[in-house]
């Protein structure tokens, strides 16, 4: 298998009108990744060294997107939509290069298991000309049936063409195929369009190959592998299945999810063993968490790196560029963006830290903000090791708080603070005896006059 060459041809030309969207259907996302990119990843994992995308609607948008998730993939345009076999033949140039195996896949089936593709390729290696990946269901209504005789697949029959006996078959067509590369073009070119729609159907190559005495077989995968997405309800269903798989995988790898069904991962989330995740946590793109961290309830994390034994939340928001070193703490109702929280530092509550560094062991009091933006540009705040910033302080960047610096509560700090210095940035308090009572009486009298 490892020496066999493989091309995946991924059909991604559908308009997806039932999605009710200007975005090409296959670019709608599952776990933060376009569904077609999930298909590409599955093909790569199954050993497809080269990738082809057959595109149509939104071709330029598709090319731009593919440059990110499949930069080496070739794209071919299906100018007219004349059926699935016609779509595959749009990639004739690539298929003709003589691959051992050709995988034909659909860009709207994001849950395909690479293992199912590997099994199909093994059948090709054993001599099959065509391998169809099917699934079994107790309710086959609406699906094409896989007609087998003597352990061989002889036809794929659409339900409207099935006999009463054939309608009882529960082994159904999943749409995914593996074809021997040396025979692929001859079989595809033999497909005709003598049918009600005048289209060229990929499924016809099963009957063609069988009629030529070639070995055609069906392999079985779960229904999820063939789940196609046609509308947003099915998109949500696929998202749910993907999340369930990922949660299960995370827990088996040593992560504790207290309420798994309330935790949502992205396709690239990395999370270490002995991490505990409390309910209602969202992991956006680009999150890396080391071992032994604790993520408290209702936290939203994206583009962040969290080292071992950190403590985050509850109700924390870590935005892109947040970098928490070992044993750092970001507490409730705190937001961190483009900032490093060094080892053992604490940002406990009701605080915004942006474009900054908080030194090791520093303590940031409640209500502190780094004033990093003047409406045009961003500026940096550097808070030294062991510094203490009192509650309700505003640090106006660019500014440096030295090692061991102490900021009095309620201060607005606009100048650098040297190491071990104490800084006040607030107006002096003035107390006038009896003035409070006088004000209350005046305000009460004014309010009463308005009611008359």
The tokens for 203 are 């499924």
Compute the distance between CA of residue 80 and CA of residue 84 in angstroms, rounded to an integer. Answer: 11
How far does CA 148 lie from the centroid of its chain? 38
- Using CB atoms within 10 Å of the CB of residue 29, give its burial: 0 to 12 exposed, 13 to 18 middle, 19+ buried: middle
The tokens for 443 are 């305000």
Name the residue among 18, 38, 182 with its Cα closest to residue 27: 38
CB 408 within 8 A of CB 401: no
The tokens for 45 are 């994992």
Q: Say which residues have a Cβ less than 8 Å from residue 99's Cβ, sequence separation at least 6.
A: 5, 6, 7, 50, 181
Read off φ and ψ for residue 217, nearest 5 degrees. Answer: -135, 160
Question: Which residues make beta-bridge pairs with 135?
Answer: 172
Compute the distance between CA of residue 287 and CA of residue 266 in angstroms, rounded to an integer. Answer: 8
Compute the distance between CA of residue 248 and CA of residue 430 in angstroms, rounded to an integer. Answer: 61
The tokens for 161 are 């063409």
Does residue 300 have an active-site annotation?
no
Q: Say which residues have a Cβ less than 8 Å from residue 430's Cβ, sequence separation at least 6.
A: none
Instruction: Calculate ∠ Cα 365-366-371, nearest 5°.
Output: 85
The tokens for 207 are 């009957």
Q: Which residues are designated catalytic?
A: 349
């Amino acid at each position: 298998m490892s020496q066999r060459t493989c091309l995946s041809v991924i059909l991604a030309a559908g308009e997806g009108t039932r999605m009710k969207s200007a975005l090409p259907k296959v670019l709608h996302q599952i776990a933060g990744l376009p569904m077609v990119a999930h298909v590409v990843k599955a093909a790569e994992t199954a050993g497809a060294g080269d990738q082809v995308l057959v595109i149509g609607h939104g071709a330029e948008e598709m090319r731009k997107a593919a440059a990110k998730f499949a930069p080496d993939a070739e794209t071919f345009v299906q100018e007219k939509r004349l059926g699935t076999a016609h779509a595959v033949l749009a990639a004739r140039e690539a298929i003709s290069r003589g691959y051992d195996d050709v995988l034909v896949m659909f860009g709207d089936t994001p849950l395909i298991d690479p293992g199912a593709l590997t099994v199909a390729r093994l059948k090709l290696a054993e001599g099959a000309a065509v391998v169809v990946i099917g699934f079994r269901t107790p309710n086959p209504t609406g699906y094409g049936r896989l007609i087998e005789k003597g352990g061989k697949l002889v036809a794929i029959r659409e339900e409207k063409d099935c006999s009463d006996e054939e309608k009882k078959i529960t082994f159904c067509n999943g749409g995914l195929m593996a074809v021997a590369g040396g025979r692929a073009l001859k079989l595809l070119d033999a497909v005709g369009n003598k049918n009600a729609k005048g289209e060229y159907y990929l499924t016809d190559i099963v009957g063609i190959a069988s009629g030529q005495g070639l070995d055609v077989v069906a392999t079985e995968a779960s229904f999820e592998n063939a789940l196609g997405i046609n509308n947003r309800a099915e998109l949500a269903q696929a998202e749910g299945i993907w999340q369930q798989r990922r949660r299960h995988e995370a827990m088996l790898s040593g992560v504790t999810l207290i309420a798994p069904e309330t935790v949502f991962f992205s396709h690239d989330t990395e999370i270490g063993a002995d991490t505990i995740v409390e309910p209602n946590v969202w992991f956006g793109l680009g999150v890396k968490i080391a071992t032994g961290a604790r993520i408290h309830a209702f936290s939203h994390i994206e583009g962040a790196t969290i080292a071992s034994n950190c403590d985050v939340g509850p109700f924390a928001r870590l935005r892109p560029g947040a970098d928490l070193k070992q044993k750092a703490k970001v507490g409730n109702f705190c937001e961190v963006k483009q900032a490093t929280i060094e080892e053992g530092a604490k940002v406990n509550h009701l605080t915004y830290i942006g474009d900054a560094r908080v030194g090791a062991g520093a303590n940031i009091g409640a209500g502190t903000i780094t004033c990093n933006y003047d409406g045009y540009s961003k500026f940096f705040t550097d808070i030294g090791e062991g510094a203490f910033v009192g509650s309700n302080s505003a640090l106006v960047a660019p500014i440096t708080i030295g090692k061991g610096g102490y900021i009095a509560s309620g201060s607005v700090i606009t100048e650098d603070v040297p190491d071990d210095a104490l800084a006040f940035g607030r107006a002096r308090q003035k107390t006038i005896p009896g003035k409070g009572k006088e004000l209350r009486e005046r305000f009460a009298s004014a309010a009463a006059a308005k009611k008359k």
